[in-house]
Each structure stands twice: as structure tokens, then as C-alpha cells.
Amino acid sequence: MRFVDEITLVVKAGDGGNGAVAFLREKFRPKGGPSGGDGGRGGNVVFEADPGLGTLLDLRYRQRLEARRGGDGQGRDCHGRGAEDLVARVPLGTEVFDEGSGALIGDLVEAGTRLVVAEGGRGGRGNARFATPSNQAPRKAEPGAPGEERKVRLTLKLLADVGLVGLPNVGKSTLVSRLSAARPKIADYPFTTLTPNLGVVGLGPGRSFVMADIPGLLPGASRGVGLGVRFLKHVQRTAVLLHILAPDETMENDLVADFEALSTEIAAFDADLAARPRLVAVNKVDLPGVREGLPSLERFLSEHGLSVFPISAVTGEGLDELKARLGEMLGRR
């Protein structure tokens, strides 16, 4: 399934129904009187958070969402039927912005939450509403009010407890697949992961946390290099950042420099995000020579109050310790 995390579309609520001009004419009521009913209210356009969705794909090709108009009033004091709301389902974590002003309309983070993004027009009053002692046969009624119309932008930010960040091909997807039931596509080339992946990591009966695998970041990600801004937003909601470092294919990269590059991009994108609790894991320690580079990295990180977890997502080494530490940081012992 294609991952779509940002769309724009026009939403148009239904217009209100028109009020009616009518007079009651019955055999046994010779004087009759005005009997025009009111118009019905137009339908709202509503977004509803659905935990069963993981992408905005369902709305990707719908350029416009338009609710039905209210029914017109009728004679004999019959009011028009109010239109049903148009309800569009969106994933948890969807933010809705007004495209014109840029203002945040709402943030849908809880299952079943509903957000009215365009209000239906009020129904017009029928002539029965305008009868007075001095005007007992009014011949006027109101038209229905137009429904609200606006252009909105929907942005999806994944809801996860732990966000994995790292350069391309450091083994983030493999780690998620080992710690959870998620099965992201994995291969031996850079940029295997093109979309974020979520996995639920079990800690024991009734205890778990959600981990997000974010596609590999490059220097300049905070400015959009390699779609960096698009992917960085998916870790904005996370409580803990897990930095994954690993040797590249040349086995000559500097892990300290890699960590600093990642930290710089995160801080440039969102200072609050850079201040979140962090953990550092060095992957691929099963490869020859990787352990020899750990002492210098440990000395550097100790100055920043961080410790290093040597792991191998392939062999499973160190994964239980890493999982337990993440659980402690999240308060899920």
C-alpha cells in the first residue's frame, strides 16, 4: 500500500434549505394562515480518526469533499430535512490546517475523535415564522445560508513512543523487524526504506510500546535534502529518540561524526525534538573491527550524558538489554 502523509483538498459543507411561502387552505379552516416550513440545515464535513488507517491514500485523489444541502421547507408547516454529515476517515495523528491562513484547525490523535472542518448552512425560515398581529399573511421566506467552503491541508505525523533515526542503511528496518511483528522491506542497498514503518514492541503481559522506523536521513535533511523534512516530522510526537549508528560499506566512517551530523539536523528541524530523551545504539557489532571503534564513541557520548548500546540486529546481540532500557525510559517496566 502506498504511503501518503500529506494532501490538500477543498471541503464544502451543504447549503441550508430554503424556507417556504405557503398558506393553509382547508375546508373547515376558512381563515387559514401562513404555513410555510423552514429549510433544513446543510450537512457538515467531518474528519474522524480511524486507528485502522495508516495513510491518507483514501483521500489522495479526491480533490473535493462536498456534503449534501438541506431540504427545502414545504407547506402545512413541514420543515425540510437536515442533511447528513459527510464523514471522511483519516489515520490517527492527522493534523488539519487551513491552507489559506496556515492555522491549525485540529489534531486527531485519539480513536473516534471527530473534527468539523466545514459547517453546514442554516436553513432559511418559512413564512409561518414571520406572521405578526399586524401582518397575518406574510409572503416572504428566507433562503438557506451557504455552507462553509475552505481549502485544507492534511498532514500525517505518526504516533509512536520511540523514533529511530540514523543514516541510510544502518539497519533500522532490520531492528524493527527483530523487536516487533512489523515486516518492512529490507535489502542490501541504501535507501531500502522509503516510507516510515511502525512496530509494536512487547515487554511482557500488558506492556508494550510503539517504535517508528524513519527512512534514512542525510546531511541537510532539515532543509529537505532526501525528503528529510517530510520524514523528520514523523518523530515529532515520539517520547524517546533512538540514534542508530553503524559502519558503512567501506567500514571507514566515523561514528562520532555520524552522531553529530544526525544531532545537528534534528536540532535544526526542531529544537524541542532535540531536547527529548535519547539513546544511542551501535548496530552491526557482529562485523569484524566494529567493537574496536566503540571506546572513542563512548568517551564522546559520556560527555553528553549518553551511553552506548552495542547491538546486532542480525544476531540479536544486545537487543533484550536495549528493549528493557527503552521500556524504563518510557516508564513501562
Residue 187 lies in domain: 162-329
Mean pLDDT, to the nearest integer, of 219-231?
A: 51
Task: Give the mean model confidence (pLDDT) for residues 3-29.
Answer: 88
Q: Which of the pair, 7 or 25, is modelled with greater confidence?
A: 7
Answer yes or no: do 266 and 134 share one domain: no
Q: Is residue 239 part of a domain?
A: yes
Residue 122 and residue 189 in one domain: no
d(CA 97, CA 101): 8
Contacts of the segment 170-173: beta carbons below 8 A, 24+ positions apart: 170/216, 170/244, 170/245, 170/246, 170/283, 170/284, 171/244, 171/246, 171/283, 171/284, 171/313, 171/314, 172/213, 172/214, 172/216, 172/244, 173/197, 173/213
- Domain endpoint, select from 113, 141, 156: 156
Q: Is the pLDDT of residue 27 over 80?
A: no
pLDDT at 212 exceeding the cut of 50 = yes
* Cβ-contact 90, 105 below 8 angstroms: no
> Domain check: are 106 and 232 in the same one?
no
In this structure, are 53 and 10 located in the same domain?
yes
| Residue 48 lies inside a defined structural domain of this protein | yes
**Which of residues 107, 141, 156 is at a domain's end?**
156
Residue 310: inside a domain, yes or no? Answer: yes
1 assigned to some structural domain: no
CATH, residue 39: 2.70.210.12
Share of the chain above pLDDT 70, in %: 86
What letters, b where the CB count within 10 A reaches 16 and e where it falls short, cover 42-65? bbbbbbbbbeebbbbeebeeeeeb
Same domain, 315 and 230: yes
Report the chain's mean pLDDT, rounded to a whole number.
Answer: 86
pLDDT of residue 271: 85
Asked if residue 42 belongs to a domain, the reply is yes
Do 118 and 234 lie in one domain? The reply is no
Q: Tell me, yes or no, whether 129 and 184 share the same domain.
A: no
Does residue 210 fall inside a structural domain? yes
Q: Are residues 146 and 108 in the same domain?
A: yes
In a domain, 30, yes or no: yes
What is the number of domains present in the chain? 2
Give the predicted TM-score (pTM) of the model: 0.75
The predicted structure's pLDDT at residue 217: 60
pLDDT at 231: 66
Strands 149-156 and 197-204: unpaired
Q: Which cell numbers in the block locate residue 100?
A: 489559506
Residues 305 and 212 in one domain: yes
CATH of residue 237's domain is 3.40.50.300
Task: Examine the domain organization and report whether 102 and 186 are in the same domain.
Answer: no
Please identify, among 156, 178, 196, the residue that sits at the C-terminal boundary of a domain: 156
Q: Are residues 58 and 123 in the same domain?
A: yes
Q: Are 103 and 62 in contact (CB under 8 A)?
A: no
- For the ranges 41-55, 152-166, 307-321, the lowest mean pLDDT is seen at 152-166
d(CA 209, CA 324): 11
Q: Cell for 202?
A: 512487547
28 inside domain: yes
Does residue 218 surpass a pLDDT of 80?
no
If pLDDT is split at 50, 70 and 90, which confidence band does 215 have?
Answer: low
Q: Judge whether residue 12 has pLDDT over 60.
A: yes
Asked if residue 190 and residue 121 are part of one domain, the reply reads no
User: Could you read off the pLDDT of 158-171 as tens digits, one per residue?
Assistant: 778 998 888 888 88
Q: How confident is the model at residue 31 (pLDDT cuts 50, 70, 90)?
A: low
CB 126, CB 22: distance < 8 Å:
yes
- Give per-residue pLDDT as tens, 227-259: 445 667 777 888 899 999 988 766 777 888 889
Do 11 and 54 touch, CB atoms closer than 8 A? Answer: no
* Side chain identity, residue 112: G
pLDDT higher at 265 or 319: 319
